[in-house]
Structure 1
Amino acid sequence: MNDAELLSVILRTGSQGENSLSLAKRLLLQFGSLSAILNASLHELQAFKGIGVSKWSQLQVIHELAQRTYIEKLKEQDVLSSSELVKNYLISLIGHKEHEVFVCLYLDVHLKLISSQEIFRGSVSQTTVHIREIAKECLLRNASHLIIAHNHPSGDLSPSLADIELTKSLYQALALMDVQLLDHCIVSKQGGISFSELRIMANIG
Structure 2
Amino acid sequence: MLKSIDQITALRKDDPIVQSQERCCGNYGTAGHICIRHHAILTTLEKSVQTIKNEATEGPRPREKLLSSGPDNMTDAELLAILLRTGSQGENSLNLSRRLLNEFGSISALLNASYKDLHPFKGIGVAKWSQLKVIYELVQRSFLEKLQQQNVLSSTGLVKNYLISLIGHKEHEVFVCLYLDNHLRLISCHEIFRGSIDETTVHIREIAKECLLRNASYLIIAHNHPSGHLDPSEADLTLTHSLHKALQLIEIQLLDHCIVARHGAVSLMDLKIMPK
TM-score (norm 2): 0.67
User: Are the aligned partners of 1:78 and 1:112 in contact in 2 as well (CA < 8 Å)?
Assistant: yes
User: Are the aligned partners of 2:84 and 2:93 in contact in 1 as well (CA < 8 Å)?
Assistant: yes
Which residue of structure 2 aligns with residue 133 of structure 1?
Answer: 206
CA distance in 2, matches of 1:18, 1:123: 39
Which residue of structure 1 aligns with residue 244 of structure 2?
Answer: 171
Q: Which runs of 5+ in 2 are unaligned?
A: 1-65, 67-73
Say how many residue pairs are matched.
203
- 1:180 Cα offset (Å): 0.5
Which of residues 91, 94, 97 is equivalent to 1:21? 94
Structure that is richer in helix per residue: 2
Which of residues 207, 223, 226 is equivalent to 1:153? 226
| Comparing 27-36 and 163-172, the one that deviates more | 27-36
Across the aligned residues of Structure 1 and Structure 2, the Cα RMSD in angstroms comes to 2.3
Higher Rg: 2
Q: Which runs of 5+ in 1 are unaligned?
A: none
Q: Percent identity?
A: 70
Alignment of 1:76-115 (within 5 A): 76-115=149-188
Query: What is the letter of the counterpart of residue 138 of structure 2?
Result: L
CA distance in 1, matches of 2:175, 2:78: 35
| Comparing 17-26 and 173-182, the one that deviates more | 17-26
Give the match's secondary structure for 2:149: coil
| Comparing 15-24 and 76-85, the one that deviates more | 15-24
User: Are the aligned partners of 1:120 and 1:129 in contact in 2 as well (CA < 8 Å)?
Assistant: yes
CA distance in 2, matches of 1:161, 1:44: 36
Which residue of structure 2 aligns with residue 37 of structure 1?
Answer: 110
Alpha-carbon distance change, 29 to 99 in structure 1, aligned in 2, over 3 angstroms: closer
Alpha-carbon distance change, 196 to 40 in structure 1, aligned in 2, over 3 angstroms: farther
User: Are the aligned partners of 1:96 and 1:189 in contact in 2 as well (CA < 8 Å)?
Assistant: yes
